[in-house]
Amino acid sequence: MTSNTAISEQAREILITNDRGGYTVPTAGLYPYQWNWDSAVAALGFAQFDVDRAWVEIETLFKGQWADGMVPHILFHKSDPGYFPGPDVWGCEGPIPSSGIIQPPIAATMARFVWEQDKGLGRERLAALYPKMVKWHNWIMRWRLHRGAVCTTHPWETGRDNAPDWDNTMARMDASDVGEYTRRDTAHVNSDDRPTKYDYDRYIKLVQMGRRLNWDQAAMLAESPFRVADPTMTFTTLRAARDLQVIGEALGEDTSGIAASIELLVTGAETLWNEELGGYDSRDVLSGEWAGCLSNASYLCWFAGVENAKMLARLRDVMTRVPFPVPSNDPNAESFDARRYWRGPTWAVVNLLIGIGLEDMGHKTEAKALADKTAGLIKEHGFAEYFDPMNGKAAGGGTFTWTAAVWLAWAGRD
């Protein structure tokens, strides 16, 4: 079996190969631009061997920040006709051509981790980023809350594009007038690993609506048929707030506003507890209905500093019941699909976040078990975008940046 040292060298080489000069693409071809939360995880990976390059990654991400504080989910630094939908479809007017939506705000958390690698080198870089990160946090708190939980306005925002969480909401959407378009993703990977055309029609419908409304948040709030409070956005925003508070206090800043938002988000997180499901769930803000989905995002509670004994019991169960945990969807669910993107596969990047949370909350046995299982998965099946939770086989894109970063920063460490 290949040694950990050799695998670590492969992981470093993937980050270096996917480096485009200031930002890292998730993988060549399939994802040719800078993605928000991918980039934050890439920074964590770079920090294990090149702290300066890690800071550059995050700084480049925030160069795309809009004037109102929003940080887009994609920055289109260079034209690439092989990707759809590109900047011409989004029609945004940020400082860098971009999409009009966000992604899970883990940049503040990863910035804290990078800073902790070398506080002397990082203090000035962190101080420059801090007000930008707070501005983005405040944007989320202004535009995305419902009863204290954070809402998504597009499945792509959560990073969990085709998760079953959105099925009921999307079923009510009429996308019959979306028009013709040509997807590029299925030219790079097996179509059985990707969202269906039914899903994609609705993704594009929401993009078309945002463009028509000039990405005006008030107008979108009033008109959009898609607004779902979900565990991904809520738990990552809460974690970001906690890290911003730590950073702000270290920099001598007034963090009272952040402290207030933490209190509100903690309350909001509890509005996502579905007692009937026995887990944290997504809820449609417009209809009031639960999604009824236990996903890998449900286990991000510890990442957010939220303890829950019932979720811990469920995690222990899935860790023993599924050969390669944590699956993105409950294998007992009718909607489970072991290979189709976020409807079943295991994602090393979410395992990282779950593992960080478990470690922080004192669940060291579970944290180590998850890290060991993730390490074994990568050692046996490579640096894939995601994996079949039942047999471990690689799926999606290969030589994937954040899977390499997960190995370097967490799974492959002693």
> What are the catalytic residues?
161, 385
Cβ density class 331-368: b for 16+ within 10 Å, e for less: eebebbbbbbbbbbbbbbbbbbbbbbbbbebebeebbe
At a CB cut-off of 8 Å and minimum separation 6, what does 237 contact? 104, 105, 137, 140, 150, 265
H-helix or E-strand containing 283?
strand 283-284
Up-side HSE of residue 26: CA atoms within 13 Å toward CB? 20
SS3 19: strand
Instruction: Select from 144, 204, 195 the least CA-distant residue to 177.
Output: 204
User: Nearest 10 degrees: CA dihedral of 63, 64, 66, 72?
Assistant: -140
The phi and psi torsions of 287 (rounded to 5 degrees) equal -95, -20
The bridge status of strand 228-229 relative to strand 74-75 is unpaired
User: Nearest 10 degrees: CA dihedral of 260, 262, 267, 271?
Assistant: 130
**Tokens 């009824």, residue?**
292
Q: How far apart are CA 382 and CA 73, in angstroms?
A: 26
Q: Two tokens at 261? A: 């938002």
45 near 409, Cβ under 8 Å?
Answer: yes
Give DSSP secondary structure letters for 215-268: T-HHHHHHH-S--EE-HHHHHHHHHHHHHHHHHHHHTT---HHHHHHHHHHHHH
At a CB cut-off of 8 Å and minimum separation 6, what does 407 contact? 7, 8, 11, 348, 375, 378, 383
Q: How far apart are CA 243 and CA 304, in angstroms?
A: 10
CA angle 260, 310, 329 (to 5 degrees): 95
**Tokens 């630094």, residue?**
77
